[in-house]
Every structure is written in structure tokens, then in C-alpha cells.
Amino acid sequence: MSEDKEAQENELLALASIYDEEEFRRAESAQGGEIQLCLELPPNFKLLVKGDKTAEYNVCFLPPLVLNFELPADYPSTSPPVFSLSSKWMTKAQLSSLCQRLDELWDENQGFEVLFMWIQFLKEETLNFLSIQSPLELYRSSIKGGGERRKTDPEAPSLGQMSDPRAVVLMDPHSDPLPQLLDFDEAQRQRAFDGKVFCCGICFSDKLGASCLCFKGCQHVYCKVCMTEYFQIQIRDGNVQCLNCPEPECTSLATPSQVKQLVDEELFARYDRLLLQSSLDLMADVVYCPRHSCGTAVMVEPDTTMGICSACQYAFCTLCKLGYHGVSHCKITADDLRSLRDEYLSATPEGQKFMEQRFGKRVVQKAVEESFSRDWLKENCKCCPRCGTNIQKVDGCNKMTCTSCKQYFCWLCLGALSKVNPYSHFNNPHSPCFNQLFHGVDVDDDEFWSDEED
């Protein structure tokens, strides 16, 4: 008996030294404990969800198998460990097969410690033993009779089939397993990310993932200090649609939850409000009441130019935002002729025809006659590389800012510039515009140089 007790103590101490506290927890009042085993999934492992709709999800982690055990006084000389095996995603039949295999391993090694052998088998061979391959099929709940009911799992044991009482299915049969599996996968991915070291693409400092932010669309990583400052500047400037990855030409956007982690409540409230407004602005069937005291969002019926505000009952033209005028042309002020000219010149043939119908062909012709010629525009303006807006450079350096979409770009090569450090384009020896920030700019010698320096 003393030899068994010594062997048990040595085995438990060995497990405690091999596995961390989250994997192995020793029982306080008995010779036993709990082991959580995360299976090593192959690359590109998928969950296939069947039900009313079929969908696939990529996962890197599944909830662990949990082995609870207690060592009898005559283990390992005579009796095997008393155990139970539980899971949140395996079926009763699969867990029962694993329990039987653990019994077989004990029979093959009776008289020796088997816990480590059991753990290695469960962790490394479970998928092959149970023939589990990608995609792993799940059966989503369907709503019947006023409540959720899980569809019958074809792998679940029926009467007469093997069902081990030590096999415990932790998933509620009336619940949908998918949300729990995806939440666990997301949490484990974040945990793995937090423990790695990354080089910030802005300040070039090495920091743990816990101090970094990863854009989900492109997987580019930057430290939270740099991204906090970047988000704050963009939100204060009202550029909530421009919270994308600072990597040049990358279009991955930060999620609202990522923004909320890095800015204070007041700034996030402004971000949330402007984001909603900009989203409504992009909807073709949503306009705003033009009355300054109202501004309520108004849904517009298709193929009509009349909007009626639900708050103040104001009927207005959705094109010119004045009182509704039926089939009459929209009125335009002298101050708006310049904008009308620019819009008409840059419009497609279909757009030009629409403007002639909206304002009247004579009004449009007058605006165009007073405008600059197309040759002048071609010689003196360049198009924003992001939105195509005509930009005229009056003075200053060659780092430009689009007046429409706020994109930074180089006047010389029309390349998009970094939103965080736009001047790096002119400081990089490998850039075609190296040291040409002021190329072509007329420099006033009296302003920049003294007589002595000459």
C-alpha cells in the first residue's frame, strides 16, 4: 500500500510539473484531479452546420475534453483510476468509445501508472481514433412547437447500443451548440495572440499581442498606443469611415468593438453617432429633413422626388431640399452655379441628361459656359487616386489632402500616402519621390535664407 501511495504521489507531482494550472488541477481532498485537453486540430479545420440553413466556419480550437479522475488506494498495483470523460461537442457514442479505449490501455499496462498515457492518447490520437475529419458536422436546433429542439444526431447511441455512464455530454440538447463553439474559438485565438510578440508597423517597437491591435481583414498588427492616437485624430476630424488599417493601400476597417477598447466613452459616442449618420447617407432611400430645426431621417419611396418628414410633416424635394415643387425644375441660386458646372462636367452622359431634366437645359448650359474649359482642368488639376475628385494645387508642398475623401496623396506620383506618417514617402530612399517634398515649389529666398547663408 505504501508503494502504491508513493507511486500515486509521484505521478500527480509529475503531471503538475508538465501541465499548467489551467490544464491540470489537483483535487484538494482526494488523490485525483481534473485534466482539460485541447485537441490539436489540422489546418483549415471547419465546422459544418446543418439545419434550416447550411454554413461552414473555420475554427482553430474546440472546447477541451475534460478527464476527471480519482486514484483508488490500490492503484496502480491492482485497480485502475476511477474516471469520467466529458465534452461540449462530442456525442455520447464518441465519448463512450474513448472510455472503452482507456479501459483497454489500462488492461494492457496493469500495474503501471497510466494517467500520462491516457492524456497523450486523448490529446494526440482522439481525432484519428474517432475518424473525425474536417468538416465536423453539427446539427443546429430548429424551432418547433414554440420552443427549440435539437435535431436527432445520427451518431448518438440508441437503445441496445453501447453507452458508457462515465461519458458525459455537457451540451444542453435543447440549445444550439454553434455559439459556444465559436465563442471558445475566438477566446483561444485571442489568448494565443496575446502571448506572441509583434513589431508595431508604426513605431517599430516589439510588444506583446496583449498590447497590440490586429485588423481582422488583413491581420496587420499595430500597438494600441499608436492606434489610440490614430483613432482619436480621425474621430475628432469626423473621418469615422477612414478608421482603416494604416498600411498603404490596405482597406481593412477596425471593428466598432476595437474602437471602443481604445477611445474614451465621449469619443466613442461621437464615433457611433457619425458612423450611423454616414451609413444612412449611403442609403439611396434615406434622406434628411432639410429644416434646420428638425433633421430627421426620412425614408423615400422609389422613383419619387418627394419626401415627407414624419416628425414635422414638411414636404420637400429630395433633390434640391426646397419645398416640393412637383414637375417644375429645381431652382438654383447664383452661388450654386459653380458647383453645378463642376458636377455636370464630371458626370456621365446619363448623369448629364438627368441634370438637364432636373434644372433645365438652359440653366445647365449657362453654368457650363461660365466654367473653366476642360483643357484648363486637364492642365491644372489632378484626380485624387482614391475617389477621382479633381484637385488643384495652389501652393505648398507635394503632400496633398483630397477635399472630398480626405485621402493623403503625393502630387508628383499620385500615390496614396500613409494616414499616420504621410511624409515617410518623401523620406524613404527607395521611394521615387525621395527628397522631393518641395520639388517644383517656388521658394522665396528672402524667407528661407539669410544674406550670410548665401
- For the annotated catalytic residues, the residue numbers are 397
- Residue 393, classed as helix, strand or coil, is coil
| Distance separating alpha carbons of residues 254 and 424, to the nearest angstrom | 23
Strands, E, within 81-151: which ranges?
82-87, 136-139, 142-144, 147-149
Burial 250-266 (b: 16+ CB within 10 A, else e): eeebbeeebbeebbeee
- Counting Cα atoms < 13 Å in the Cβ hemisphere of 98 gives 32
Joined grid coordinates for residue 150: 435539437
Sole residue written with cell 461621437: 270
What gap in Å lies between CA 50 and CA 157, rounded to an integer? 20
How far is 170 from 87, CA to CA, in rounded Å? 6
What residue type is 197 in one-letter code? Answer: V
- Judging by DSSP bridges, how do beta strands 221-223 and 286-288 pair with one another? unpaired
CA of 316: how far to CAs of 290, 298, 327, 355, in Å? Answer: 8, 11, 13, 18
Residues 6+ apart with CB under 8 A from 78: 72
Rg for the chain (alpha carbons), in Å? 34
Name the amino acid, one letter, at 287.
V
